[in-house]
Amino acid sequence: MKSMENIEDAWNFEDMRKMDDTRDMQKMNHMENLANDMFPERWVTPEGILDEQQVIARQILYRGLNGRHVERFTVQSGQSYIFKPLTNPAQYGRERWMYEHVMPHLPPVYPQLIATSDQAEAPEQSWMIYEDMGQLEHYLCESTMLNATAHMAAWHVLPVATWQELPRVGHKPPIRDMLDELQQHQSATDELLRQLHLTLSAADRDRLTMLILTAEDELPLVLCHGDLHPGNLAEVEGRLVILDWEHAHLNTPLWDVYHLLDLSHPLFPRTMTPGLRARVMKVYLDKLESLGVQVDRDSFAKWYDAYAIIFSLWMLRLIDGDLRNPDCVWPQEQLRNQWHETATTLEQCMEHLNGY
Protein backbone atom coordinates (compact mmCIF):
# COMPACT_ATOMS: atom_id res chain seq x y z
CA MET A 1 0.00 0.00 0.00
CA LYS A 2 1.43 3.36 -0.95
CA SER A 3 0.19 6.94 -0.82
CA MET A 4 -0.95 8.77 -3.90
CA GLU A 5 0.94 11.85 -4.99
CA ASN A 6 -2.21 13.93 -5.35
CA ILE A 7 -5.60 13.02 -3.95
CA GLU A 8 -7.30 15.48 -6.29
CA ASP A 9 -6.29 13.33 -9.24
CA ALA A 10 -8.21 10.43 -7.72
CA TRP A 11 -11.46 12.21 -6.96
CA ASN A 12 -13.66 12.73 -9.99
CA PHE A 13 -14.78 16.18 -11.06
CA GLU A 14 -18.31 15.78 -9.70
CA ASP A 15 -17.02 14.86 -6.23
CA MET A 16 -14.77 17.93 -6.21
CA ARG A 17 -17.59 20.21 -7.42
CA LYS A 18 -19.97 18.96 -4.72
CA MET A 19 -17.29 19.36 -2.04
CA ASP A 20 -16.58 22.94 -3.16
CA ASP A 21 -20.30 23.79 -3.32
CA THR A 22 -20.88 22.46 0.20
CA ARG A 23 -17.88 24.32 1.58
CA ASP A 24 -18.96 27.55 -0.15
CA MET A 25 -22.48 27.21 1.29
CA GLN A 26 -21.08 26.66 4.78
CA LYS A 27 -18.88 29.73 4.47
CA MET A 28 -21.85 31.83 3.31
CA ASN A 29 -23.95 30.65 6.25
CA HIS A 30 -21.19 31.44 8.74
CA MET A 31 -20.60 34.86 7.19
CA GLU A 32 -24.31 35.63 7.56
CA ASN A 33 -24.29 34.50 11.19
CA LEU A 34 -21.14 36.42 12.00
CA ALA A 35 -22.44 39.57 10.35
CA ASN A 36 -24.54 39.99 13.48
CA ASP A 37 -21.79 38.70 15.76
CA MET A 38 -18.74 40.74 14.81
CA PHE A 39 -15.49 40.19 16.70
CA PRO A 40 -16.27 36.82 18.37
CA GLU A 41 -13.05 37.23 20.39
CA ARG A 42 -14.95 39.55 22.71
CA TRP A 43 -17.03 36.62 23.95
CA VAL A 44 -13.96 35.31 25.81
CA THR A 45 -12.11 37.08 28.61
CA PRO A 46 -8.31 37.55 28.64
CA GLU A 47 -8.23 34.66 31.14
CA GLY A 48 -9.61 32.31 28.46
CA ILE A 49 -13.13 31.86 29.88
CA LEU A 50 -16.52 32.86 28.50
CA ASP A 51 -17.50 36.44 29.36
CA GLU A 52 -20.75 36.44 31.32
CA GLN A 53 -21.48 39.96 30.07
CA GLN A 54 -21.51 38.77 26.46
CA VAL A 55 -23.22 35.39 26.87
CA ILE A 56 -26.91 34.94 27.62
CA ALA A 57 -27.03 31.12 27.96
CA ARG A 58 -24.57 28.28 28.58
CA GLN A 59 -24.79 24.49 28.47
CA ILE A 60 -21.95 22.19 29.54
CA LEU A 61 -21.39 19.42 26.98
CA TYR A 62 -18.52 17.53 28.60
CA ARG A 63 -15.61 17.86 30.99
CA GLY A 64 -12.04 17.54 29.75
CA LEU A 65 -9.13 15.72 31.35
CA ASN A 66 -7.93 18.95 32.96
CA GLY A 67 -11.35 19.77 34.41
CA ARG A 68 -12.29 22.46 31.87
CA HIS A 69 -15.65 22.25 30.13
CA VAL A 70 -16.63 22.27 26.49
CA GLU A 71 -19.83 24.32 26.32
CA ARG A 72 -22.62 25.45 24.02
CA PHE A 73 -23.21 29.14 24.52
CA THR A 74 -25.63 31.70 23.11
CA VAL A 75 -24.76 35.32 22.45
CA GLN A 76 -27.05 38.34 22.46
CA SER A 77 -27.96 37.95 18.78
CA GLY A 78 -29.51 34.58 19.65
CA GLN A 79 -26.88 32.62 17.72
CA SER A 80 -25.25 29.70 19.55
CA TYR A 81 -21.69 28.40 19.24
CA ILE A 82 -19.43 25.78 20.81
CA PHE A 83 -16.66 26.93 23.16
CA LYS A 84 -13.75 24.52 23.47
CA PRO A 85 -10.90 25.46 25.80
CA LEU A 86 -7.79 23.32 25.97
CA THR A 87 -9.07 20.14 27.65
CA ASN A 88 -5.98 17.96 27.22
CA PRO A 89 -2.67 19.79 27.77
CA ALA A 90 -0.75 17.11 25.86
CA GLN A 91 -2.65 18.09 22.68
CA TYR A 92 -2.00 21.84 22.89
CA GLY A 93 -2.08 23.44 19.44
CA ARG A 94 -2.83 20.21 17.55
CA GLU A 95 -6.41 20.96 16.55
CA ARG A 96 -5.61 24.51 15.47
CA TRP A 97 -2.73 23.17 13.35
CA MET A 98 -5.06 20.63 11.76
CA TYR A 99 -7.56 23.33 10.81
CA GLU A 100 -4.82 25.48 9.31
CA HIS A 101 -2.92 22.81 7.38
CA VAL A 102 -5.07 19.71 6.85
CA MET A 103 -8.79 20.49 6.91
CA PRO A 104 -8.71 22.48 3.65
CA HIS A 105 -7.76 19.21 1.93
CA LEU A 106 -10.76 17.30 3.34
CA PRO A 107 -14.42 17.33 2.36
CA PRO A 108 -16.49 19.43 4.81
CA VAL A 109 -17.17 16.66 7.33
CA TYR A 110 -16.00 18.70 10.31
CA PRO A 111 -17.43 21.66 12.28
CA GLN A 112 -16.35 25.04 10.97
CA LEU A 113 -13.88 26.95 13.13
CA ILE A 114 -15.16 30.43 13.99
CA ALA A 115 -12.40 31.93 16.13
CA THR A 116 -9.33 30.98 18.19
CA SER A 117 -7.26 32.52 20.92
CA ASP A 118 -4.04 34.30 20.02
CA GLN A 119 -1.16 31.90 19.64
CA ALA A 120 0.82 34.04 22.07
CA GLU A 121 -1.60 33.13 24.87
CA ALA A 122 -0.50 30.65 27.50
CA PRO A 123 -1.79 27.10 26.85
CA GLU A 124 -4.11 27.18 29.88
CA GLN A 125 -5.80 30.28 28.43
CA SER A 126 -6.16 28.97 24.87
CA TRP A 127 -9.55 28.27 23.31
CA MET A 128 -11.42 27.64 20.06
CA ILE A 129 -14.97 28.53 19.02
CA TYR A 130 -16.83 26.30 16.55
CA GLU A 131 -20.13 26.45 14.74
CA ASP A 132 -22.97 24.86 16.71
CA MET A 133 -24.35 21.95 14.71
CA GLY A 134 -27.19 21.34 17.15
CA GLN A 135 -27.87 18.28 19.27
CA LEU A 136 -25.72 15.48 17.85
CA GLU A 137 -26.84 11.87 17.87
CA HIS A 138 -23.92 9.47 18.21
CA TYR A 139 -25.80 6.30 17.33
CA LEU A 140 -23.39 4.59 14.96
CA CYS A 141 -25.69 2.84 12.52
CA GLU A 142 -24.26 0.85 9.63
CA SER A 143 -24.87 3.55 7.02
CA THR A 144 -23.03 6.15 9.12
CA MET A 145 -20.15 3.76 9.68
CA LEU A 146 -19.86 2.93 5.99
CA ASN A 147 -19.96 6.62 5.10
CA ALA A 148 -17.22 7.37 7.63
CA THR A 149 -15.22 4.43 6.30
CA ALA A 150 -15.16 5.83 2.76
CA HIS A 151 -14.03 9.23 4.05
CA MET A 152 -11.38 7.59 6.22
CA ALA A 153 -9.95 5.76 3.20
CA ALA A 154 -9.79 9.08 1.32
CA TRP A 155 -7.79 10.87 4.01
CA HIS A 156 -5.55 7.81 4.36
CA VAL A 157 -4.24 8.36 0.82
CA LEU A 158 -3.53 12.06 1.23
CA PRO A 159 0.19 12.86 0.83
CA VAL A 160 1.73 13.50 4.26
CA ALA A 161 5.17 14.79 3.22
CA THR A 162 4.27 18.37 4.19
CA TRP A 163 2.69 17.33 7.50
CA GLN A 164 5.79 16.02 9.21
CA GLU A 165 5.08 18.23 12.23
CA LEU A 166 2.40 15.75 13.24
CA PRO A 167 3.52 13.29 15.91
CA ARG A 168 3.85 9.54 15.31
CA VAL A 169 1.82 8.55 18.36
CA GLY A 170 -1.69 9.30 19.56
CA HIS A 171 -3.09 9.49 23.08
CA LYS A 172 -2.61 5.75 23.60
CA PRO A 173 0.67 3.85 23.31
CA PRO A 174 1.82 2.63 19.88
CA ILE A 175 0.80 -0.94 19.03
CA ARG A 176 4.39 -2.19 19.47
CA ASP A 177 4.41 -0.80 23.02
CA MET A 178 1.10 -2.55 23.71
CA LEU A 179 2.59 -5.79 22.42
CA ASP A 180 5.66 -5.35 24.63
CA GLU A 181 3.51 -4.57 27.67
CA LEU A 182 1.42 -7.71 27.19
CA GLN A 183 4.56 -9.80 26.85
CA GLN A 184 6.04 -8.26 30.00
CA HIS A 185 2.86 -9.15 31.91
CA GLN A 186 2.29 -12.51 30.31
CA SER A 187 0.93 -14.21 33.42
CA ALA A 188 -1.69 -11.48 33.91
CA THR A 189 -2.55 -11.67 30.19
CA ASP A 190 -2.95 -15.46 30.45
CA GLU A 191 -5.24 -15.05 33.45
CA LEU A 192 -7.32 -12.56 31.51
CA LEU A 193 -7.65 -15.03 28.65
CA ARG A 194 -8.62 -17.82 31.06
CA GLN A 195 -11.52 -15.68 32.32
CA LEU A 196 -12.76 -15.66 28.74
CA HIS A 197 -12.05 -19.38 28.21
CA LEU A 198 -9.46 -18.46 25.59
CA THR A 199 -5.82 -19.42 25.19
CA LEU A 200 -2.83 -18.22 23.22
CA SER A 201 -0.08 -20.75 22.70
CA ALA A 202 3.56 -19.82 22.26
CA ALA A 203 3.09 -20.35 18.52
CA ASP A 204 0.02 -18.08 18.57
CA ARG A 205 2.00 -15.32 20.30
CA ASP A 206 4.84 -15.67 17.80
CA ARG A 207 2.35 -15.42 14.94
CA LEU A 208 0.71 -12.30 16.40
CA THR A 209 4.09 -10.68 16.89
CA MET A 210 5.13 -11.50 13.34
CA LEU A 211 1.89 -10.12 11.89
CA ILE A 212 2.09 -6.91 13.93
CA LEU A 213 5.72 -6.26 13.00
CA THR A 214 5.10 -7.07 9.34
CA ALA A 215 2.12 -4.72 9.20
CA GLU A 216 4.15 -1.95 10.81
CA ASP A 217 6.88 -2.44 8.19
CA GLU A 218 4.66 -2.90 5.14
CA LEU A 219 1.95 -0.30 5.70
CA PRO A 220 2.70 3.41 5.16
CA LEU A 221 2.33 6.18 7.68
CA VAL A 222 -0.93 7.95 6.91
CA LEU A 223 -2.95 10.78 8.36
CA CYS A 224 -4.96 9.32 11.24
CA HIS A 225 -7.83 11.03 13.01
CA GLY A 226 -6.55 9.27 16.09
CA ASP A 227 -9.76 8.89 18.12
CA LEU A 228 -12.43 7.71 15.70
CA HIS A 229 -14.84 6.17 18.23
CA PRO A 230 -18.65 6.59 18.00
CA GLY A 231 -18.64 9.68 20.23
CA ASN A 232 -16.72 11.55 17.56
CA LEU A 233 -19.06 10.60 14.73
CA ALA A 234 -22.55 11.92 14.06
CA GLU A 235 -24.97 12.76 11.30
CA VAL A 236 -26.73 16.12 11.12
CA GLU A 237 -29.57 16.35 8.60
CA GLY A 238 -27.95 13.64 6.53
CA ARG A 239 -24.48 15.17 6.73
CA LEU A 240 -21.66 13.17 8.27
CA VAL A 241 -19.76 15.07 10.96
CA ILE A 242 -16.40 13.95 12.37
CA LEU A 243 -15.40 15.74 15.56
CA ASP A 244 -12.32 16.29 17.74
CA TRP A 245 -9.23 16.16 15.53
CA GLU A 246 -6.96 17.03 18.45
CA HIS A 247 -5.48 13.49 18.50
CA ALA A 248 -4.55 13.48 14.80
CA HIS A 249 -1.16 11.99 14.08
CA LEU A 250 0.73 9.86 11.57
CA ASN A 251 0.33 6.12 11.99
CA THR A 252 -0.48 3.04 9.96
CA PRO A 253 -4.09 2.92 8.74
CA LEU A 254 -4.83 0.09 11.18
CA TRP A 255 -4.99 2.62 14.03
CA ASP A 256 -7.99 4.44 12.55
CA VAL A 257 -9.60 1.24 11.29
CA TYR A 258 -9.53 -0.32 14.77
CA HIS A 259 -10.94 2.82 16.38
CA LEU A 260 -13.77 2.99 13.87
CA LEU A 261 -14.59 -0.71 13.95
CA ASP A 262 -13.82 -2.00 17.41
CA LEU A 263 -12.61 0.53 19.97
CA SER A 264 -15.02 0.47 22.90
CA HIS A 265 -16.05 3.51 24.92
CA PRO A 266 -18.00 3.53 28.20
CA LEU A 267 -20.35 6.29 27.02
CA PHE A 268 -20.92 5.08 23.48
CA PRO A 269 -21.69 1.34 23.39
CA ARG A 270 -22.20 -0.40 20.07
CA THR A 271 -22.59 -3.89 18.68
CA MET A 272 -20.05 -5.18 16.19
CA THR A 273 -20.54 -8.47 14.37
CA PRO A 274 -18.21 -10.42 12.07
CA GLY A 275 -20.54 -9.68 9.16
CA LEU A 276 -20.59 -5.92 9.76
CA ARG A 277 -16.83 -5.88 10.29
CA ALA A 278 -16.36 -7.65 6.94
CA ARG A 279 -18.69 -5.19 5.16
CA VAL A 280 -16.88 -2.18 6.57
CA MET A 281 -13.51 -3.66 5.65
CA LYS A 282 -14.71 -4.29 2.09
CA VAL A 283 -15.92 -0.68 1.71
CA TYR A 284 -12.57 0.55 3.03
CA LEU A 285 -10.47 -1.56 0.67
CA ASP A 286 -12.79 -0.91 -2.28
CA LYS A 287 -12.45 2.84 -1.69
CA LEU A 288 -8.67 2.58 -1.51
CA GLU A 289 -8.63 0.73 -4.82
CA SER A 290 -10.89 3.36 -6.40
CA LEU A 291 -8.28 5.93 -5.33
CA GLY A 292 -5.48 3.96 -6.93
CA VAL A 293 -4.12 2.16 -3.86
CA GLN A 294 -3.83 -1.62 -4.13
CA VAL A 295 -3.82 -3.71 -0.97
CA ASP A 296 -3.54 -7.48 -0.61
CA ARG A 297 -6.85 -8.18 1.08
CA ASP A 298 -5.89 -11.44 2.81
CA SER A 299 -2.76 -9.87 4.27
CA PHE A 300 -4.67 -6.79 5.44
CA ALA A 301 -7.35 -8.95 7.08
CA LYS A 302 -4.73 -10.96 8.99
CA TRP A 303 -2.86 -7.82 9.99
CA TYR A 304 -6.10 -6.30 11.25
CA ASP A 305 -7.04 -9.39 13.26
CA ALA A 306 -3.64 -9.43 14.96
CA TYR A 307 -3.83 -5.67 15.60
CA ALA A 308 -7.34 -5.97 17.06
CA ILE A 309 -6.34 -8.88 19.29
CA ILE A 310 -3.38 -7.01 20.78
CA PHE A 311 -5.26 -3.71 21.09
CA SER A 312 -8.28 -5.42 22.69
CA LEU A 313 -6.15 -7.31 25.20
CA TRP A 314 -4.46 -4.05 26.13
CA MET A 315 -7.85 -2.36 26.47
CA LEU A 316 -9.17 -5.15 28.71
CA ARG A 317 -6.23 -4.66 31.07
CA LEU A 318 -6.92 -0.92 31.07
CA ILE A 319 -10.63 -1.42 31.81
CA ASP A 320 -9.77 -3.93 34.56
CA GLY A 321 -7.69 -1.23 36.20
CA ASP A 322 -10.55 1.25 35.96
CA LEU A 323 -12.95 -1.27 37.50
CA ARG A 324 -10.63 -1.65 40.50
CA ASN A 325 -10.10 2.10 40.86
CA PRO A 326 -12.60 3.61 43.35
CA ASP A 327 -11.85 7.09 41.97
CA CYS A 328 -12.55 6.22 38.34
CA VAL A 329 -14.89 8.75 36.70
CA TRP A 330 -16.80 6.08 34.76
CA PRO A 331 -19.70 4.23 36.45
CA GLN A 332 -19.08 0.54 37.11
CA GLU A 333 -21.97 -0.62 34.93
CA GLN A 334 -20.67 1.30 31.93
CA LEU A 335 -17.19 -0.10 32.48
CA ARG A 336 -18.51 -3.65 32.71
CA ASN A 337 -20.41 -3.17 29.46
CA GLN A 338 -17.25 -1.81 27.85
CA TRP A 339 -15.30 -4.80 29.13
CA HIS A 340 -17.77 -7.27 27.59
CA GLU A 341 -17.86 -5.35 24.30
CA THR A 342 -14.06 -5.46 24.08
CA ALA A 343 -14.00 -9.14 25.03
CA THR A 344 -16.42 -9.87 22.19
CA THR A 345 -14.11 -8.12 19.73
CA LEU A 346 -11.19 -10.18 21.03
CA GLU A 347 -13.09 -13.45 20.66
CA GLN A 348 -14.34 -12.63 17.15
CA CYS A 349 -10.94 -11.57 15.84
CA MET A 350 -9.19 -14.60 17.36
CA GLU A 351 -11.72 -16.87 15.70
CA HIS A 352 -11.38 -15.08 12.38
CA LEU A 353 -7.60 -15.24 12.42
CA ASN A 354 -7.67 -18.92 13.29
CA GLY A 355 -9.66 -19.45 10.11
CA TYR A 356 -6.69 -18.49 7.96
Q: How many domains does the chain have?
A: 2
Q: What pLDDT is recorded for position 13?
A: 40
Alpha helices by DSSP H, listed for the chain, are 7-10, 13-35, 94-101, 142-156, 175-184, 186-195, 202-218, 253-261, 274-290, 297-324, 332-354
End of a domain among 77, 104, 131?
Answer: 131
Please tell me whether residues 166 and 32 are part of one structural domain: no
pLDDT of residue 4: 43
- pLDDT value of position 139: 79
Q: What is the pLDDT of residue 3?
A: 45
Q: Are 99 and 219 within one domain?
A: no
Domain holding 119, by residue range, is 22-131
Domain match, 311 and 346 both: yes
| Averaged pLDDT in 10-residue chunks for the chain of 356 residues | 44 51 58 63 94 95 89 94 92 93 94 92 93 86 94 97 94 96 96 96 97 98 96 89 95 98 95 97 98 96 98 98 93 97 98 94
pTM of the model: 0.88
Residue 224 placed within a domain: yes
Count Cβ atoms below 10 Å from residue 348 Cβ, excluding itself.
19
Residue 239's pLDDT is 87
**202 and 124 in a common domain:** no
Domain end among 77, 110, 131: 131
Residues 179 and 294 in one domain: yes
Q: How far apart are CA 264 and CA 194, in angstroms?
A: 21
* Residue 3 belongs to a domain: no
Residue 4 lies in a domain: no
220 and 123 in one domain?
A: no
- Coil, helix or strand at residue 235: strand
CATH number at residue 98: 3.30.200.20
pLDDT for the residue numbered 200: 96
* Same domain assignment for residues 123 and 149: no
Task: Please give the pLDDT value at position 37.
Answer: 67
pLDDT, position 27? 55
